[in-house]
A and B are shown apart, each in its own frame.
Chain A
């Protein structure tokens, strides 16, 4: 399974190479990054966010990491095996040192896992892990309370921290290991990881300087970046302008309105990646009786032309979806493609007794997802074809989530990215029968409930035979497709852009964490 790559990058790069390059200097391997955000803190367990995970990949290393094709690549763990249903034994890489000079041992991994279980943001994700134990210096056993097939997915979140460095008390007498959200803890100001880069200077919100870690264990990596200057540029337009003007070499989140501008510009390359964030609509069955009827839900799905939205509104910056799981995910079911059939939709509406249609209210954000408001309007127009009259309201993100939480509208737009990069996550948050106690269906806006699917997904989540598990998830996707519990629209793409010579294409991925340790800069082609 490979990801399709929309690759203007290497093509344009080859053509324009050498025309407008900056002069070679001693600092040629300095990478100047303009990201939308800088890391909020230096404590990687304080906040679970894209910015923090990107930082984790710079200053730390995970046990394993995702490849572009959603395979696991050994990093600090070199081997792993399932000892029994609930225990996995992992062998650690030897001779890895932390920035502080301490050597990485199994104790550090155990310490890190225990800390993750304390973290407010990670606690929920690490719920399945019961305990971790160091067998010897380079072997760790991780025990789950139930059989749990996604332990390796979790291992991508385990960035071993230097337990000796983070233990003890600070001069003020507080525990060095404590996690304080948006506070001023020791860990939020001091770092010792095993990663390719050391922080040399940091001014919150202004810039972060990194220097390559001389004793980095991965000597086979071809990465040649010696220094990184990360500048947060929150405004989309300024970020693009900074790249086009040569102020930075690499930016994330190129806004769709600027895709053309960036791909046509000289000296920079646009890198588009098929994303894994599903965009869709939820139908509120509590407020609209008609939505309780599977035929009506399917009619809604049939009335929406996903291809047209991806093609016209998104200008190809999205892949039309018929299921949660993008290609590469465990539950991706190649049979489930977007359906569009107005006539059939009208028939279904008639069968369900809603030939005359009905009116609904729809809410959508207008600054969260790519072209969100326009998509919502297009969907309203399409639903009018089957006499569903939509009253659309769009609002900025800051107002959207509070509004969403009240569940006081009939249809709501949502985009979801699975933190575990696994299909089950979509179901658990978006379509599981809502249960306040367990937190299941936390984002199930419409109170859709299909216990069969829930049971199947729950079973799959304790099935450690991955082939069998994938089969179950594919089945769950098919059931949801049939029952139309969620209106899928598309997976929204990601876009990076880099200056010529910055060979970013191999190191960016759909997970949205560029592996900058492996980045090669090759500016000398004149």
Chain B
């Protein structure tokens, strides 16, 4: 166990080291931050002076050593754009992203378990087939497109005039398919409640929740079909197993067999695969946040790339690296706890 954690720690350090070296190696090509810090009519000589003072002219190794020394002490440098410590900028954007991921996870869990279980129990029912059909469509729609479609339908609104308006049924159908479209699709809203420090939450007010709905649904849309299919597949396998057959033969109620015995055994692989997937959702937040202008880390990262805000880019990548390693470690730990036969030494995620 200890050996496992140490191994993981080394893993994390390695990832962060590689990221920081990479990011440092390319920084000259990202653009010149000084260009953005001074006015257009400032002559080159003055710019050179600033570059010198910020140490942007030093050799690569000197700059990297300086960065590494500070980074070890938790100082990742100042964001050129925000003029604040990069870590603080990230800390300010982190809660928005985490809330989004949390809400999406909640949606996934709430929907995938019942749907997955149902379609495993009744694989041939029309409803199961419908769910399976929808889920493969879901997999085939990229997350940003889901987001755009949601915006069109629920934020902008759709007016359908496909059916003859003069007939009663036509008007009704037109009305039925048209949407109002006044859901907020933009930012976090104004009714944020401060929880602690710089964590303002969307979860405490009606307005905040409304703003959260569309981004969370579109973020969930990428993982939900995967989870439904995963749970269904695992559940079906469990249902074939000897002990379920035995339990059934023993006369235990079907409900109990499904939801206590079978589901418990289904959840183990789901947790391992699922836990890792939750971590990877951070990647999809870049897309979701861009579409919904959700002021989280993903949007911040994309802006930072465009602004050549090197300290912020490096810090973001390192933080995300840590998030991935941590989620994977937690998943492995849970897996180890639930299923003690798994040895935790050296086993990769």
User: Chain A interface (Cβ within 8 Å of chain B)?
Assistant: 40, 47-49, 120-121, 124-125, 181-182, 204-205, 234-235, 237-238, 240-242, 244-247, 261, 367, 396-402, 416, 419, 429, 439, 442-443
- Pull 22 A–B residue pairs with CB atoms less than 8 Å apart, ordered by A: A120-B42, A121-B39, A124-B41, A125-B41, A181-B53, A235-B295, A235-B299, A235-B303, A238-B293, A241-B187, A241-B293, A242-B190, A244-B190, A245-B191, A397-B31, A397-B35, A397-B36, A398-B31, A398-B35, A401-B36, A402-B32, A439-B43
Q: Are A442 and B43 in contact (CB under 8 A)?
A: yes
- The 8 Å CB contact of B305, one of A40, A235, A396, A443, is A396
B188 neighbours in A (Cβ, 8 Å): 241
Q: Are B39 and A181 in contact (CB under 8 A)?
A: no
Contact with A along B284-308 (1 / 0, CB 8 A): 0000000001010001000101111
Q: Are A238 and B31 in contact (CB under 8 A)?
A: no
Q: Are B41 and A205 in contact (CB under 8 A)?
A: no
CB distance from B271 to the nearest CB of A (A): 36
Q: What CA separation (Å) do A238 and B93 show in the bound complex?
A: 12
Q: Which of B79-87, B97-105, B256-264 contacts A (4 or more CB under 8 A)?
A: B79-87
- List the A residue with the shortest CB-CB distance to B46: A120
Q: What CA separation (Å) do A443 and B306 show in the bound complex?
A: 23
A442 neighbours in B (Cβ, 8 Å): 41, 43
Q: Are B187 and A238 in contact (CB under 8 A)?
A: yes
B43 neighbours in A (Cβ, 8 Å): 124, 439, 442
- The 8 Å CB contact of A235, one of B31, B35, B37, B293, is B293
User: Chain B interface (Cβ within 8 Å of chain A)?
Assistant: 30-33, 35-43, 46, 49-50, 53-54, 81-84, 186-191, 293, 295, 299, 303, 305-308
Q: Are B32 and A398 in contact (CB under 8 A)?
A: yes
A238 neighbours in B (Cβ, 8 Å): 187, 293, 295
B84 neighbours in A (Cβ, 8 Å): 204-205
- The 8 Å CB contact of A237, one of B46, B83, B187, is B187
Q: What CA separation (Å) do A246 and B192 show in the bound complex?
A: 12
Q: Are A399 and B40 in contact (CB under 8 A)?
A: no
B36 neighbours in A (Cβ, 8 Å): 397-398, 401
- The 8 Å CB contact of B308, one of A181, A245, A261, A398, is A398
Q: What CA separation (Å) do A401 and B308 show in the bound complex?
A: 12
Q: Are B293 and A237 in contact (CB under 8 A)?
A: yes
B50 neighbours in A (Cβ, 8 Å): 181-182
Q: Are A182 and B32 in contact (CB under 8 A)?
A: no
A237 neighbours in B (Cβ, 8 Å): 186-187, 293, 295
Interface SS of chain B: loop
Q: What CA separation (Å) do A238 and B189 show in the bound complex?
A: 9
Q: Are A429 and B41 in contact (CB under 8 A)?
A: yes
CB distance from B146 to the nearest CB of A (A): 19
- A-B contacts besides A204-B84, A398-B36, 7 pairs, CB < 8 Å: A121-B38, A121-B39, A205-B84, A234-B82, A241-B187, A241-B190, A261-B186
Q: Are A402 and B31 in contact (CB under 8 A)?
A: yes
A247 neighbours in B (Cβ, 8 Å): 190
B305 neighbours in A (Cβ, 8 Å): 396
Q: What CA separation (Å) do A242 and B43 show in the bound complex?
A: 37
Q: Are A419 and B293 in contact (CB under 8 A)?
A: no
CB distance from A367 to the nearest CB of B (A): 5
Q: What CA separation (Å) do A181 and B48 show in the bound complex?
A: 12
- List the B residue with the shortest CB-CB distance to A247: B190
A40 neighbours in B (Cβ, 8 Å): 83
- The 8 Å CB contact of A419, one of B37, B41, B187, B306, is B41
Q: What CA separation (Å) do A234 and B190 show in the bound complex?
A: 17
- The 8 Å CB contact of A399, one of B39, B49, B299, B308, is B308
B54 neighbours in A (Cβ, 8 Å): 182
Q: What CA separation (Å) do A397 and B308 show in the bound complex?
A: 9
- List the B residue with the shortest CB-CB distance to A443: B40
Q: What CA separation (Å) do A442 and B45 show in the bound complex?
A: 13
Q: Are A396 and B42 in contact (CB under 8 A)?
A: no
Q: What CA separation (Å) do A246 and B190 show in the bound complex?
A: 7
Q: What CA separation (Å) do A396 and B84 show in the bound complex?
A: 22
- The 8 Å CB contact of A396, one of B39, B40, B46, B308, is B308
CB distance from B92 to the nearest CB of A (A): 9
Q: What CA separation (Å) do A240 and B185 show in the bound complex?
A: 13
- The 8 Å CB contact of A398, one of B30, B189, B190, is B30
Q: Are A402 and B83 in contact (CB under 8 A)?
A: no
Q: Are A205 and B187 in contact (CB under 8 A)?
A: no
- List the B residue with the shortest CB-CB distance to A120: B46
Q: Are B306 and A397 in contact (CB under 8 A)?
A: yes
B53 neighbours in A (Cβ, 8 Å): 181-182
B42 neighbours in A (Cβ, 8 Å): 48, 120-121
B32 neighbours in A (Cβ, 8 Å): 398, 401-402
CB distance from B310 to the nearest CB of A (A): 10
- List the B residue with the shortest CB-CB distance to A246: B190
Q: What CA separation (Å) do A419 and B39 show in the bound complex?
A: 10
Q: Are A245 and B190 in contact (CB under 8 A)?
A: yes
Q: What CA separation (Å) do A502 and B189 show in the bound complex?
A: 22
Q: Are A245 and B189 in contact (CB under 8 A)?
A: yes
Asked if A399 meets B30 with Cβ closer than 8 Å, knowing A48-B42, A205-B83, the reply is yes
Q: Which of A241, A242, A400 has the most CB of B within 10 A?
A: A241
B306 neighbours in A (Cβ, 8 Å): 367, 396-398
B37 neighbours in A (Cβ, 8 Å): 182
- The 8 Å CB contact of A397, one of B41, B293, B295, B307, is B307
B191 neighbours in A (Cβ, 8 Å): 245
CB distance from B204 to the nearest CB of A (A): 15
- The 8 Å CB contact of B31, one of A246, A399, A443, is A399
Q: What CA separation (Å) do A113 and B83 show in the bound complex?
A: 29
Q: What CA separation (Å) do A240 and B41 show in the bound complex?
A: 30
- List the A residue with the shortest CB-CB distance to B84: A205
Q: What CA separation (Å) do A401 and B307 show in the bound complex?
A: 12
Asked if A398 meets B33 with Cβ closer than 8 Å, knowing A181-B50, A182-B53, A237-B293, the reply is yes
CB distance from A5 to the nearest CB of B (A): 27
- List the B residue with the shortest CB-CB distance to A125: B41
B293 neighbours in A (Cβ, 8 Å): 235, 237-238, 241
B299 neighbours in A (Cβ, 8 Å): 235
Q: Are B186 and A241 in contact (CB under 8 A)?
A: yes
Q: Are A401 and B35 in contact (CB under 8 A)?
A: yes
B81 neighbours in A (Cβ, 8 Å): 234
CB distance from A155 to the nearest CB of B (A): 18
A443 neighbours in B (Cβ, 8 Å): 40
The 6 A-B residue pairs with the shortest CB-CB distance in the complex, in nearest-first order? A245-B190, A398-B31, A398-B308, A237-B293, A241-B187, A396-B306
Q: What CA separation (Å) do A340 and B42 show in the bound complex?
A: 36
Asked if A398 meets B83 with Cβ closer than 8 Å, knowing A121-B39, A124-B41, the reply is no
Q: What CA separation (Å) do A121 and B81 show in the bound complex?
A: 19
CB distance from A30 to the nearest CB of B (A): 17
Q: What CA separation (Å) do A235 and B81 show in the bound complex?
A: 11
